[in-house]
Amino acid sequence: MRKGYLTMAYFFQEPSHTFSEYLLVPGYSSEHCIPANVSLKTPVVRFKKGEECPLTMNVPMVSAVMQAVSGEQMGIALAKEGGIAFIYVSQSIESQAAMVRRVKNYKAGFVISDSNLRVTDTLADVLALKQRTGHSTMAVTDDGTGTGKLLGLVTSRDYRVSRMDPDAKVADFMTPVEKLIYAPEGTSLKTANDIIWDHKLNALPIISEDGHLVSFVFRKDYDSHKGNPLELLDGQKRYVVGAGINTRDYDVLVMDSSEGYSYWQKHCLEWIRAKYGDTVKVGAGNVVDGEGFRFLADAGADFVKIGIGGGSICITRETKGIGRGQATAVIDVAAERDKYFEETGIYVPICADGGIVQDYHITLALAMGADFCMLGRYFSRFDESPTSKILVGGSYMKEYWGEGSARARNWQRYDLGGAAKLSFEEGVDSYVPYAGALADGMATTLAKVRSTMCNCGALTIPELREKAKLTLVSATSIVEGGAHDVLLKDTTNGNQRG
């Protein structure tokens, strides 16, 4: 008999578990353990012991790299709340880059103008530009660019569509530069905001010595920051946003692949490091054990995603028989992450991607070692997801489909070589209950996370890991944990599913 015929597959001794099979056991809560004192700040990318992480989030939540979840509106809304959206990859590079650019330009302190006109343009041109960019403040420059000599401004107060000829020239209805209040190049953001408030302006042009437009400062950006103290900004006061890439597309931020323990991910990471060094921050995955984590960490991943087959629209486990219970996967990978840190002095954050059904599962994932969670179904329910809101059976729903579904046509995500097509589906097309505005939903979810952390005596995520006590629960205990033996008057309570 040839060698190898008598070998056996490796068997894990313990069954794998989901988040729903665990509960947190309360610990001592001091008088300081109140939700207002909880910090949810968490690292996103790798860093060395003794150094500051170069990219952190104010809340441990990112949106999934999915057509039905992460468009530009999600990018803006999630950054306002302190998280990061990863703009979906299954579109052209130009389209994806434009989405990222619009998120970055939405709030930037000093904003380079991308809505510009010439004096010879018409009202019809103004309306077309507004339709294309969504901006109502437009610079009029000598060459029609964002850095030309400023001649005036056009805002919605300068024209009335119902009373004006579409062929009316911009020169005839713009506010000329002589009547504008502006500030010189080099003005600080604080001073610019003071000028805006003192003169009751919506926008302040910043002008160079020779009269050329440099940038704008907008009142809405100041108001936005005051209303969203946790919003996540880069060094230029722009929203932080991520973008997905397929393993073989060699771009930036996070690889969107169903299984990350592969030659292709290593090859992609090596290419990025050779071309860009450490300047490009890129996450990799997905994996479900310590071995897979170690492989990607050694290859240079800035963070590693955990989870195969645990998403609500994912059917990888039933079609291919691969995967692992998400709770067990997180615990295993977290242990390897800590071991890797002890050996190398490099901390590589891990992301629990999938398997989050209830809000408290986020807290469980953090207690088990995850640095942050990636959610698809949770975010797909909100106004800001790019899908349609429709009426189904008397209830409002939103469409939600997996990247492995025929509708998504994202065959690259599952590509292992061969024909450039999706050979079989690993995702479904579905509906999820409409949940309103993202800000309201996240406020409720994060209130639960902070409250549970206080019950465990923890005010930070690292402290939660240190103090958390976890217990497996029986099937009967799971039933006991919800409302039971009563007839509910209202089933729409605050226990929203994530």
Query: Mean pLDDT per 10-residue run, the chain (498 residues)?
Result: 67 92 96 97 97 96 93 92 91 85 76 91 95 90 95 95 94 96 92 94 95 91 77 83 63 73 92 90 94 97 93 76 93 98 98 95 98 96 92 92 64 48 65 94 98 98 97 83 76 54
The pLDDT score that the predictor gives to residue 3 is 56
Q: What is the 3-state secondary structure (H, E, C) of the chain?
A: CCCCCCCCCCCCCCCCCCHHHEEEECCCCCCCCCHHHCCCCEECCCEECCCCCCCEECCCEEECCCCCCCCHHHHHHHHHHCCEEEECCCCCHHHHHHHHHHHHHHCCCCECCCCEECCCCEHHHHHHHHHHHCCCCEEEECCCCCCCEEEEEECHHHCCHHHCCCCCEHHHHCEEHHHCCCEECCCCHHHHHHHHHHCCCCEEEEECCCCEEEEEEEHHHHHHHHHCCCCCECCCCCECCEEEECCCCCCCEEECCCCCCCHHHHHHHHHHHHHHCCCCCEEEEEECCHHHHHHHHHHCCCEEEECCCCCCCECHHHHHCCCCCHHHHHHHHHHHHHHHHHHHCEECCEEEECCCCECHHHHHHHHHCCCEEEECHHHHCCCCCCCCEEEECCEEEEEEECCCCCCCCCHHHHCCCCCCCCCCCCECEEEEECCCCHHHHHHHHHHHHHHHHHHCCCCCHHHHHHHCEEEECCHHHHHHCCCCCCCCCCCCCCCCEC
Cα–Cα dist 64/307, whole Å: 12
Max alpha carbon distance in the chain (Å)?
93
Confidence at residue 486, expressed as pLDDT on a 0 to 100 scale: 81
Amino acid (one-letter) located at 45: V
The owner of tokens 């999915």 is: 66
Q: Which of 46, 294, 413, 465 is catalytic?
A: 413
| 314 assigned to active site | yes
Angle at 436 between CA 432 and CA 438, to 5 degrees: 100
User: What pLDDT is recorded for position 334?
Assistant: 98
Whole-prediction pTM: 0.78
Measured distance CA(152)–CA(135) in Å, rounded:
16
Is 46 a residue of the active site? Answer: no
pLDDT score, position 497: 52
Tokens standing for 490? 């209202």
Q: Using an 8 Å Cβ cutoff, are 334 and 380 in contact?
A: no
What are the phi and psi torsion angles at 72 (to 5°)?
A: -70, -35
Which of 33, 46, 268, 314 is catalytic? The answer is 314
